[in-house]
Structure 1
Amino acid sequence: MTPMKTQPTRKHSQSTSLHIAPIAYNQLAGSWRTEAMRSHATPRLLFITKGQGRITVAGMTHGYGPNNMIFLPAHVMYGYEAGPSVFGTMLTIPKAMADEWPEETVHLRLRDVHAQRQAAAMFEAIEHELQASQQTHSRAAHYHLGLMSVFFERQMNLSPARTATDRTEGTAARLVAAYTDLIERDYKTAQGVSDFAAALGVTPTHLTRCCNQTCGRSALSLLRDRITYEACLMLRDSAAPVSQIASDLGFRSAAYFTRSFQAKMGHTPSHFRKNGAGKSVRHH
């Protein structure tokens, strides 16, 4: 891949328009693209059609499998496994249509064959319309998305026993969800786990214990993971100097940022940028 420094500078942002993308295993792309904690400015809808794995949403880990639909509201932190057997689709929901979807995360398991076929057909219809360039096709894609929201709401009503990755699963889950909210809001401010724990009125030890209980990871791991993901995006999508990225992410020096990034990713920020945005993320 051409070194990033020769690429034109792109604004560091995430898509907020209607967009559809495949979910599929790609060893060369790097697991950080799926597994590392991240969030988006607009909602996402995942539809898994093949394979199984785990997804962590707001600090709560659940399994997923074929014919699962997972709705992720804006600004909710998540990451998921996408092994060799996994295939599916991720839909970006425009901000203007976000009100048509739930306010909390919802994980539906479609067991009815007719519903499974309906969901697949709706995704195919949206993809078909988005592949065309005419304005009428864009309008049609948005109308299909509106129908998708109706379908999703009906499935919620038919599946009261669905597994939810929201904030109703006990004290530990609620605390960790609140912690992930604080991370998402303040991860660029150089605050540590002790600062977040103090804001939540608990000790760092208790916070880490709860994180390990809900997702098998420490409080520090979740925080570092979110920062590292953002660093990866900034290194991939901009030509900003490493020193500027370090500053933007709240690091006191470029050297400290480099050591932290290398400990997480296995190589330096400069190496990551020059070699196709990396191939792995080490979870600590």
Structure 2
Amino acid sequence: MSLWERSGWKGGFPFSPTRLGPLGRAVRGQGGDVDVTAASICDTGATLPRTTPAALSYGRIVVPDALTVRVTPASRRTAPRRASLRLLPIGAFTWGSATPPVQPRTRPDHTLIWVTGGRMRLDFPRSGTILEPGDVRFIPSGTAFAARPRAGAEGHVLLISPELVAEVDPPLPRSVTAGCIGQGAAVLAATLQALVEEAARSPDRKALDCYLNVLSLRLSRLDPERDRRTSAGAALADRPLVDRFLALSASEIGSDRTLADLAQDLGTTLTQLDRACLQARGRRAIDLVHEQRLERAAELLRHTDRPTPRIAQDLGYASHGHFTRIFVAATGRTPETYRQQMTRTPD
């Protein structure tokens, strides 16, 4: 009873002040993201800057409160979600479940992925693919996917809050859109950069809508997606079947594609492929693939500092434990012991 009768409550709620800083303050997040509260968006007279894909700068732009759209009733005393744009380097963007094997997860924002160099693995619940230079994917909010950049991958990822595109005309795609950028790379690069820069200049929403319209138009005019089976077969058509198979499997190492898929790309069947491998190398196709993965793992252990769980994930092993068991059976040493012995400097 005495607590309820305290006269000290008249001066305010008797809890200590919150340690949370004010909203809109610059905060450095994972992957080098920086949150910046936008003070302005430039006027509609701005023109697209001349920007090359390599010259894009990255960051996060939070749209001012005046432009924020509340999507749920204010039933709790929490700050409303703030509409924002984020432009990230592709090597800093990984999405999916936290534990291997990586499983698709949904995101609340629209995701635009553009690969300019290297490769990136993109998986959906029932399909997966490898993105190569020039490939573009637009993934609407609420779509489950997993993304894993390969070593040396280059490109850009744009994350867009759905609140920002509610009035865009023509609207952004409502389903996953796949294609190649082709001759429009300069326009797309300039648009991505302009979206981030213009969102930070003035409270005028018209300029931001203008660039979002340009982005929507650019996505509607992508070149058709490449036929990977045709390109893979054509590139290797003049080589013997087993050599073609080994080259293709090396390029797909770590992917979820089966041996039957690779055999189909090569215009043969798994039975014929196995027979050819036994005649040429004395081993079945699956054994040759396992050998390739072990050789690649040993190379990564010798020449990189990449953690062994990440190596196991990149090479398509079910888990770190599975990778360790296979490596010990082949070499008699754990991956960690092998790395220590192979990188030890002589006395």
| Pairwise TM-score range, normalised by the shorter structure | 0.3 to 0.5
Higher relative contact order (CA 8 A, sep 6+): 1
TM-score by length of 1: 0.45
Rg (Cα) greater in structure: 2
TM-score by length of 2: 0.38
